[in-house]
Amino acid sequence: MTDESQKIYYSIPDVAAQPHLTLRMQHVLNHDMAHRHNGKIAYYTTEDPDTTVSQKITKSMLHESLQVDGFIFLQMQQFCYGPTFNFKLLKEFIENGYEVHFTREAVSILDMDDLEQKKELLYIFFRTYGKNRTEPFLKSFVKAAASSPIAH
């Protein structure tokens, strides 16, 4: 790291949000979130369309000893594609000392105490996304993104 005070993040766009939001657009949004936390995006990856539910690629990063301060996901919905909110995976990231940020919801989880305090909020987001977790909120996100000064 060149500047010890600047945090280093891994960006994880949501492949399921395409074609409404291209990976490039998502990366710009995640970059903005990193900037708001005095950081920068140094790496990025995404799930394959076939692994969004299992989060296989995201899980594999826990075993790589990455030199980053945390991970920035486009949206909390990335933890909701399975039958339940993947709280176990989120908890593993925090237990391994990583911050987790969700750009769309502007929610950050910095440590285990923070995770415990936000458990109910996470549950509410999961319930809000409902049975059809890909349609209503994605449309609203695209509308908001399209009206952003970045999009013009």
Burial 68-93 (b: 16+ CB within 10 A, else e): bbbbbbbbbbbbbbeeebbeebbbeb
Asked if residue 25 belongs to a domain, the reply is yes
Residue 72 has pLDDT above 70, yes or no: yes
Asked if residue 2 belongs to a domain, the reply is no
CA distance 4 to 96: 20
Q: Note the pLDDT tens digit of each residue in 74-108.
A: 999 898 888 878 899 999 999 999 999 999 999 99
Asked if residue 103 belongs to a domain, the reply is yes
Residue 143 has pLDDT above 80, yes or no: no
Asked if residue 61 belongs to a domain, the reply is yes
Asked if residue 87 belongs to a domain, the reply is yes
149 cis-preceded (ω within 30 degrees of 0)? no
Asked if residue 1 belongs to a domain, the reply is no
Asked if residue 79 belongs to a domain, the reply is yes
CA distances from 99 to 77, 82, 112 (A): 17, 22, 10
By the 10 Å C-beta count (0-12 exposed, 13-18 middle, 19+ buried), 30 is classed as buried
105 Cβ partners below 8 Å, 6+ apart?
75, 76, 125
Residues 49-65 have a mean pLDDT of: 86
Residue 136 has pLDDT above 50, yes or no: no
19-23, 30-34, 128-132: the lowest-pLDDT one: 128-132
Domains: count for the chain: 1
CATH number at residue 36: 3.40.50.1390
Q: Looking at per-residue confidence, does 30 or 136 come out higher?
A: 30
Q: Containing domain of residue 99, as a range?
A: 7-151
Instruction: Tell me what pLDDT residue 150 has.
Output: 54
Asked if residue 144 belongs to a domain, the reply is yes
User: Residue ranges of the alpha helices (H) in the chain?
Assistant: 23-36, 56-60, 87-95, 112-117, 119-129, 136-146
